[in-house]
Amino acid sequence: MSAYVEPSLEVKKKGLKSRPVIATIILIGGIIGLLLAIGISVSIGAAEIDVRTVWSAVFQYDSTLVPHQIIQETRLPRVIGAALVGSSLAVSGSIMQGMTRNPLADPGLLGLNAGAAFMLAICFAFFPGLPYIYIILFAFVGAALGAGLVFGVGSLAKGGLTPMRLVLAGAAVTALLVALSEGIAIYYRINQDLAFWNAGGVSGARWENIKIMASWVILAILAAIVLSKSITLLSLGEEIAVGLGQKTGVIKLFGTIIILILAGSAVSVVGAVGFVGLVIPHITRFLVGYDYRWIIPCSAVLGGGLVVLADLAARMVNPPQETPIGALIAVIGVPFFLYLTRKGGQPL
């Protein structure tokens, strides 16, 4: 653990410490693990389906067989959705942490998720039956709203944007937006649609939504990988990045757009799930070093794995009821967050 107590100092002293070998292992192993987890997750459920049937359902789909239908229509979109949500939250968290050098940055903690959820509540209340292709745009706007409020309040303060103050502002903005969403939900009697979804769950994922969401997410993650070199430089400090000829303003703009797209898409499928974007980037950085060209793809894989496993656990803890994923991940996320705050939130 001591390897990253003072990352910024460490980096300045020893130069960029990156572990490409470990990163490659994580990438390959992570993808295999992810596929395995997806396979297990698809085969486990109310109707037990063995892995061979899963295989044939995916690659030799036969619409007359009931198990094939279950897999294609309900389980597969759900698992793919979980993986995409995990990847997008983890990648948006790592970009946020890298760009702002704030170790406590997370789309959930800084109000992006609550903002997206708020806009979705508005969407369901005022435009019921809107196609998902537009709903996801609302989610992007909402994420921008949440982020704007938090960073606005944070930068108004005299001491400037300290990590801790941003988190406090995030907590208050989240409280406000959640209260407003709940108020809207109760007023328009859509609270039953929203209740479980507020706590986080991928049970409602459907193919047509997942396809739209996947195209946004994959595009954004690819863009993030293109941008990753510049993010590494930004994570060393604004002055260093400028000194090395980076147009920091442009990078930050594109980074922000990517973050908003990723957080918004994730929330539009799963609801407000926090802490994935906090925990995964830290673990990834600990494992692969400080090069975002490795951190971003690795955290995408690990984040996807975490949410797929959380979804699996959510179905297994108390069948036939589902435990909200958000609650399960908070159980891991909260101690981790406490550990980070104890270290005082030094800049990355």
- The site for another protein (CB under 8 A) is made up of 149, 153, 156-160, 162, 164-165, 167-169, 171-173, 175-176, 178-180, 182-183, 186-187, 189, 195, 199, 274, 317-318, 321, 323-324, 326-328, 330-331, 333-335, 337-338, 341-342, 344
Cβ of residue 64: shortest distance to another protein, in angstroms?
36
Distance of alpha carbon 157 from alpha carbon 25, whole angstroms: 44
Nearest one of 344, 337, 346 to 108, comparing CA atoms: 337
Cβ of residue 137: shortest distance to another protein, in angstroms?
26
* Residue closer to another protein, measured from CB, 133 or 179: 179
Cβ of residue 93: shortest distance to another protein, in angstroms?
16
CA dihedral 279, 285, 286, 291 (to 10 degrees): 180
Distance of alpha carbon 247 from alpha carbon 259, whole angstroms: 18
Cβ of residue 68: shortest distance to another protein, in angstroms?
31
Distance of alpha carbon 300 from alpha carbon 223, whole angstroms: 13
* Number of separate helices (H) and strands (E) present in the chain: 15, 0
CB 109 within 8 Å of CB 167: yes
Nearest one of 338, 308, 313 to 324, comparing CA atoms: 313
CB 114 within 8 Å of CB 177: yes
Cβ of residue 328: shortest distance to another protein, in angstroms?
7
Query: Alpha-carbon torsion 237, 240, 243, 244, what sign?
Result: negative
Cβ of residue 175: shortest distance to another protein, in angstroms?
5
* Residue closer to another protein, measured from CB, 196 or 207: 196
* Residue closer to another protein, measured from CB, 180 or 218: 180
* Residue closer to another protein, measured from CB, 34 or 184: 184
* Residue closer to another protein, measured from CB, 171 or 283: 171
Cβ of residue 102: shortest distance to another protein, in angstroms?
13
Distance of alpha carbon 68 from alpha carbon 47, whole angstroms: 12
* Residue closer to another protein, measured from CB, 153 or 213: 153
Cβ of residue 123: shortest distance to another protein, in angstroms?
19
User: Which string of DSSP letters, residue by residue, matches 133-176?
Assistant: HHHHHHHHHHHHHHHHHHHHHHHHSTT---HHHHHHHHHHHHHH
* Residue closer to another protein, measured from CB, 177 or 298: 177
Partners of 18 in the β-ladder: 289
* Residue closer to another protein, measured from CB, 8 or 341: 341
SS3 (DSSP) at 131 = coil
